[in-house]
Structure 1
Amino acid sequence: MIDAEVDVSEDLVRALLRERHPDLAGLPVREVEGGWGNQMWRLGDELAVRMQRMDTSLDLQLKERRWLPVLAPRLPLPVPVPLRHGAPSERFPKIWTVMTWVDGTPLDLGSITRGDHAAETLAAFLEALHVEAPADAPAAEGVGAHPEDCSDGFEHFFQAVAPAELAGVIRDVWGEAVAAPPWEGPPVWVHGDLHPANVVVADGTLAGVIDFGALCAGDPAWDLAAAWLLLPAGGTARFLESYTRVDEATVRRARGLAVMKSLFLMSMGRNGDLGLPGGKPHWGPVGRDALDRVLKGLGG
């Protein structure tokens, strides 16, 4: 566990590269906007340095290092692939990883205009990802579990930001998810944290998926929730037509999880408006738009 937050600067990134990977130290280094648990620095045109910042455990980056090289070759969208590693040191007491750069604009700063294409692209990506995970895959702990196991998290976000006029229907959708039968198949690979800041877009459609720190073996409903969070109005129905392995219980769980994730985005937006650490002011409207799509039902 690493508790200290360290200020990361261009000079620090370059100094670390000189120490561990001097052949990369001469490439241009520039900060990438966003990030919370980790901070990204663009390294040249094709690489990025992922610097642990607020995350208090090494596990998330170590998980990406272990599994992304295995998963990336069979996924139909670009994902970051770890290439070089950095260990904690006196100069920087956390870990860092040099990864391939995934080109595009994060969706929370961009938009999808080719909704049908994006829905089909998301479905193809998730069908490729959602295969049975090996026995040594990271277990579902919170993320990847049944919604019933996440009721405390839902209640926290609900109490913080749920619009009073929608409280009843929000609880109804969540209740349906909690009451839904659990996933009956084998645990599959799950990204676990698909929201607008963790995908990139280009040419009006999805162009890549990033931040696999929540990767685990679990319930695919956690990723199907992204149909409401990422796609414009009408996109969820097209997605569900294209994702061939869906069932009614999984959709119920996914819709409830989409409500919780929408409330999370709204909570981060509120924190930003209040000037609290880690707040993202522009996530509030993103979350509210997603919530409205969820509450409209499967048509999104």
Structure 2
Amino acid sequence: MTDAPEHTPLDTGPPAAHPAISVATARALVDTQMPQFADLPLGERFDGWDMAMFRLGGALAVRLPRADPAVASLAREVRCTTELAGEWTFAYPHVVTRGEPGEGYPWPWAVVTWVPGSTADLVPLFASAGPDVGQAIAQIHTPASADAWVNPEQSLTLAQRDDETMWALGRAELGSGHDGLALDAESARALWHAGLAAPEPSAAEYVWSHADLHGSNLLSDKGTFAGIIDWGKMAACDRAVDLAFLYTAMPAAGVEAALAAYREATGVDDPGLEARVQAIALQKCLLWAGLDRPLNVTMAWRGLRELGVAVPA
């Protein structure tokens, strides 16, 4: 075992929500700006990293940025799920209408369609869901436009990820593991170096990507694929990024099936794809394994197990 390199990533958890966000505020915003929905009951509040949501009737939801940086995330969601979604056949939240600041709430907001299902962090997808997920990702991955956003965590080469990955690997190697599992550091290093050695696309070959397609944003209907939510991180990325996240949500056989369906749907000639997918998945899981967030830790070790780098402690 080796000492972990010096590295102190900032992980303070989600930002504090704007104090104006409440059931009463959401009700007032809807009633004053969208009277056509005034008779629909408002449900309980759900908080993600960027957005607070309230069910609106049975088929809709109110979506409110929780903090100032999330305003840009909502703008990305609106653009991407309207301008880019013409060929998408999977379920995702459609923007129904947009609202303006008011009632003490300072930012734009939106009403979107509600996509039913459980998140795959809690109800993982079956391996048999892999082909449907792979086809959905193929639909998302159109060539990124010149004005496509850059995601600071995901629009990266593997070389740009190397220092952080080695730090996280060293930390996990020295750690106590999780749920009876420990890191096989030798296998993890081999997997990472295989990714580093694989051919990579240039930035000009990046595709529009969800860029946050982990188990909390994949929907499951008792193990079958039910849709994709939370589009505010969408950006130009290596096509391997979205596929890599699947290790947090399904067995390795499902990821392999997703890759096969993806290759068939896109016809992409990318000999390094599988190696990059596994390396990026490894990095994400190693980073999440040390967070103080139980759901992320569970997804991380699920992914490490499916990547074949977690062994009985």
Q: Distance in 2 between matches of 1:158 and 1:224?
A: 21
Give runs of aligned pairs for residues 194-273 of structure 1, distance below 5 A: 194-244=213-263, 245=268, 247-268=270-291, 271-272=292-293
> Counterpart of 2:12?
none
Is the deviation greater in 163-172 or in 19-28? 163-172
Query: What is the RMSD of the two structures over their aligned residues, measured on CA atoms?
Result: 2.6
TM-score when scaled to structure 2? 0.80
> Counterpart of 1:133?
144
For the 8 Å contact 1:79–1:208, the answer to whether it is kept is yes
Q: Distance in 1 between matches of 2:242 and 2:50?
A: 20
Q: Distance in 2 between matches of 1:23 and 1:208?
A: 27
Give the direction of change, closer, same or farther, for the CA distance of 1:74–1:267 in structure 2 (3 Å limit).
farther
Q: Distance in 1 between matches of 2:80 and 2:163?
A: 29
TM-score when scaled to structure 1? 0.83
What 5-or-longer segments of structure 1 have no aligned partner? 273-280
Is the deviation greater in 102-111 or in 29-38? 29-38
Q: Distance in 1 between matches of 2:167 and 2:30?
A: 41
* Equivalent residue in structure 2 for 1:171, among 175, 184, 189: 189
Query: Per-residue CA shift, 1:167-220, capped at 9, x if unaligned?
Result: 333333233333433214722111111100001111421110011111112210
* Equivalent residue in structure 2 for 1:144, among 137, 149, 155: 155
1:294 CA drift (Å): 1.5
What 5-or-longer segments of structure 2 have no aligned partner? 1-14, 176-182
Deviating 4+ runs (over 6 angstroms):
none
Q: Distance in 1 between matches of 2:107 and 2:164?
A: 28
Which amino acid in structure 2 is aligned with residue 170 of structure 1? A
> Counterpart of 1:93?
106
Give the direction of change, closer, same or farther, for the CA distance of 1:262–1:99 in structure 2 (3 Å limit).
same
Q: Specify which structure has the higher proportion of helix.
A: 1
> Counterpart of 1:5?
17
Query: Per-residue CA shift, 1:128-170, capped at 9, x if unaligned?
Result: 1112123333245432321222345535644655565433333
The structure whose Rg is larger is 2
Q: Does 1:190 align with 2:177?
A: no
- Higher RCO (Cα < 8 Å, 6 or more apart): 2
| Paired residue total | 283
